[in-house]
Chains A and B, each alone.
Chain A
Amino acid sequence: MQIIDVLKKYPASQTSLLEILLEIDRLKDNHYISKEEVHMISEYLGVRTSHVYSVLTFYTLLSTEPRGKHIIQVCKDIPCYVNDAFDVRKTLEKMLNMSVGQTSRDGLFTLEETACIGCCDEAPAMLIDLEPYTNLTRDKIERILASYREVTL
């Protein structure tokens, strides 16, 4: 879908801004909002580009930089931390050979940390593209990553 088609789905008023940003982010393989897109959004909604940026940079789920095809978010808050026997974050960093905040060279994954995702009753947990994966073990993480790699090959 073209950006312009996304825009047309929403009323041309400022209150649509966050929904539009989220939808564009979701549609794009590299999950970010480019300069050109900011201009198109600003024109469509009749708000300044600086306003679009103020919203775009405020919210953690959005990005102004290209990211991987799949965004992995590891929960770092207490309910997951006290149930994390093997260090989910370090395990992922090792398996993906990169640190939190980075994107893999093949562009497949970006690794991020997240605040609590409400999966505390099945801790430890993470999200991949906002899909929850819970009761994580080392084996489980390996299988999950493999499944994302296969689908993309």
Chain B
Amino acid sequence: MKEHKLLTKRFGEIDPFSIEDFVNVGGYETLKKAMKMTSEEIIYEVEASRITGRGGANFPTYMKMRAMSKETGDMYLVCNADEGEPGNFKDKHLMEKDPHQLIEGMLISAYAVGANRGYIYIRGEYQSAVYLLEHAINEARKHGYLGQDICGKDFHFDLEVRQGAGAYVCGEEFALLESIEGKPGRTRVKPPFPTEAGLFMKPTLINNVETFSTLPHIIEMSGEEYGKLGSSFASGTKLISLSGNVKHKGLYEVEYGTTIRQVIEELGGGVSNGQKINMVQLGGACGPIIPEHLLDMDIDNERFEIFNSKMGAGAIIVIDDRFDLFEILLRTMTFFAHESCGKCAPCREGHIQIVKLLQKFYDTKVTYKDYESLVSLANVIHETALCGLGQTSTTSILATVEFFQYYYQQRIRQSERREWAL
């Protein structure tokens, strides 16, 4: 099995500081091609490509574009480069190794929907990405790809980098918009959706770095050709951030339809140090933890629909048999307890209780009643939280209750024995 390099094909081949390098290998040519097309033609190609959002929620990209293209007046394009989901680093690589690819993608989208102002919201921890994109934006402006009358046509678009300041929840689209507006990153109640009332209450199209970076390839090769890549469930390629206990951690671009096992074993070289795979976390902290025998599923496997999560943004975290499930869950839930924005009660209060319960499991001081509380609380947060943070945060618990039930039972029994021995 090999990688299928589309978005990563120029990585290492061009100097990310040099717009000339990018232009010399055909960069910004696709923008010119797109600018000869109508808005509806571009959106049609995006529809034909079947691409869905690469930021984790898998929403069809063309639908948002079409909704935006019907709006008039001031509107904004926003790139979500907050990448705070533990285990993900693809957007960092995309920005640091091929920043103009992202800018070109944003330009094509802006042209199609009729936006003339854009923001790239980059997490504050990614200083080198901030630096590179600011540099790339200046270069693009100097070369006439940003600003007034782009490529000599009646198309105006300019871009600005905004930094986050260490809040995972700001990756959630409404929290992100609030943050750009100079407020705490707390989500809004929807509807209205961002395409109706987003940044400064104006129509706003928000997409992930990888989604925007794919657009030039779709326009270049045609939506239909792009749509032939991948599987019947999901088209195209996906960047996978592979980490944990594997020999070759790193970023891999594969076609949808590839299995999790292929990524871990054939690209990642398998588990390091002769250990065995015990658990694999998919998508990041908000994703399910699955056992070894489920690794033959596609990276887009429908089965994950039951947890409403699938592969998220494409992280695969391999955990070998030296690690305790409850330590992993405790760290994961401590993360969410810290990152909750505090706006809705289930998320704000629920995670604190979840952490307390998991601490009991970790300390082997747990009862069956605690187990029941944990499961019911995990379901309550999942079903009642206001935004995607709480709706997905307990996926790892719900998945392990199903796939690793014996660990829960075992820990409860060990706790009982411990109690009797006292």
Which residues of the partner chain B approach A79 to less than 8 Å between Cβ atoms?
A: 86-87, 243-244, 317
Contact B89 A118 (CB under 8 A): yes
A65 within 8 A of B: no
Q: In the complex, identify which listed stretch (A18-26, A100-108, A141-149) lies at the interface while the others stay far away.
A: A18-26
Range, interface on chain A: 35 or more
A49 → B minimal CB distance (Å): 14
Considering the complex, give the chain A residue whose CB is closest to the CB of B185.
Answer: A58
Is A59 within 8 A of B281, CB to CB?
A: no
Q: Are B184 and A55 in contact (CB under 8 A)?
A: yes
Give the tally of cross-chain contacts (CB within 8 A). 129
Contact A60 B182 (CB under 8 A): no
Say whether A114 contacts B166, CB under 8 Å: yes
Residue from A15, A45, A114, A122 whose CB has the most chain B CB atoms within 10 Å:
A15
The answer to whether B87 touches A78 (Cβ under 8 A) is yes
- Bound form: Cα–Cα A21–B328 in Å: 34
Q: Is the CB of B181 within 8 A of A78?
A: no
- Taking a contact as CB atoms under 8 Å apart, the answer to whether B244 and A83 are in contact is yes
CB pair B319–A82 under 8 Å, yes or no, is yes
B420 at the interface (CB under 8 A from A): no
Stretch from B39-47, B58-66, B330-338, B365-373 that touches the partner: B330-338
* A17 to B184 alpha-carbon distance, docked (Å): 10
Give Cα A61–Cα B127 distance, bound, in whole angstroms: 13
Measured CB to CB, the closest approach of chain A to B330, in angstroms, equals: 11
A54 contacts B184, C-beta separation under 8 Å = yes
Q: Do residues A119 and B89 form an inter-chain contact, with CB atoms below 8 A?
A: yes
A21 touching B165, Cβ below 8 Å: yes
Task: Look across to chain A and name the residue whose beta carbon is closest to the beta carbon of B284.
Answer: A116
Query: In the complex the two chains form, what is the Cα distance from A10 to B28 in whole Å?
Result: 31
| Known contacts A82-B245, A82-B320, A118 near B125 by CB under 8 Å | yes
By a CB distance below 8 angstroms, the chain B residues around A27 are none
A59 touches B167 (CB 8 A): yes
Q: Is the CB of B250 within 8 A of A76?
A: no
B residues within 8 A CB of A18?
A: 162-165, 179, 182
Interface string of A47-71 (1 = CB under 8 A from B): 1000100110011111000000000
Partner of B183, one of A55, A81, A118: A55
Query: Do A82 and B244 form a contact, CB below 8 Å, given A16-B182, A115-B86, A118-B92?
Result: yes
CB of B88 within 8 Å of the partner chain: yes
A78-B317, A82-B320, A117-B125 known; A19-B86 Cβ under 8 A = no
Tell me the bound Cα distance from A59 to B243 in angstroms. 27
Closest chain A residue to B245, Cβ basis: A82
Q: What residue of chain A has the Cβ atom nearest to residue B128's Cβ? A: A132
| Bound Cα distance from A115 to B331, whole angstroms | 10
- Chain B residues with Cβ under 8 A from A47's Cβ? 182
Cβ of A14 within 8 Å of any chain B Cβ, yes or no, is yes
Q: B335's closest neighbor in chain A, by CB?
A: A115
Of all chain A residues, which has the CB nearest B85? A116
B124 at the interface (CB under 8 A from A): yes
Binary interface profile of B, 321-365, with partner A (CB < 8 Å = 1, else 0)? Answer: 001000010011001001101000000000000000000000000
Which of chain A's residues has its CB closest to B248's CB?
A121
Please state if B328 and A19 are interface contacts (CB–CB under 8 Å): no
* Residues of chain B contacted by A17 (CB below 8 angstroms): 182
Of the candidate stretches A1-9, A91-99, A123-131, the one touching chain B is A123-131
Contact A127 B125, beta carbon cutoff 8 Å: yes
Evaluate contact between B127 and A123: CB separation under 8 angstroms: no
> Which chain B positions have C-beta within 8 A of A115?
84, 86, 166, 168, 335, 338-339
Q: Which residues of B does A touch, CB under 8 Å?
A: 83-89, 92, 124-127, 162-168, 179-185, 241-245, 249-251, 281, 284-285, 315, 317, 319-320, 323, 328, 331-332, 335, 338-339, 341
The list of the 6 closest CB pairs from A to B, nearest first, reads A60-B166, A59-B165, A120-B243, A116-B86, A17-B182, A58-B184
Report A's interface with B, CB cutoff 8 A.
13-19, 21-22, 45, 47, 51, 54-55, 58-62, 76-79, 81-83, 114-123, 127, 130-131
Q: List 27 A-B contacts (CB under 8 A).
A: A15-B180, A15-B182, A17-B182, A18-B179, A22-B163, A55-B183, A55-B184, A58-B185, A59-B165, A59-B167, A78-B86, A78-B332, A79-B244, A79-B317, A82-B317, A83-B243, A115-B335, A116-B84, A116-B86, A116-B88, A116-B284, A118-B125, A120-B88, A120-B315, A121-B241, A121-B251, A122-B249
A82-B323, A115-B166, A123-B249 given; 18 more Cβ-contact pairs under 8 Å: A22-B165, A45-B182, A55-B183, A59-B165, A61-B165, A77-B335, A78-B87, A78-B244, A78-B317, A82-B245, A82-B317, A114-B125, A115-B84, A116-B84, A116-B88, A121-B251, A130-B124, A130-B127
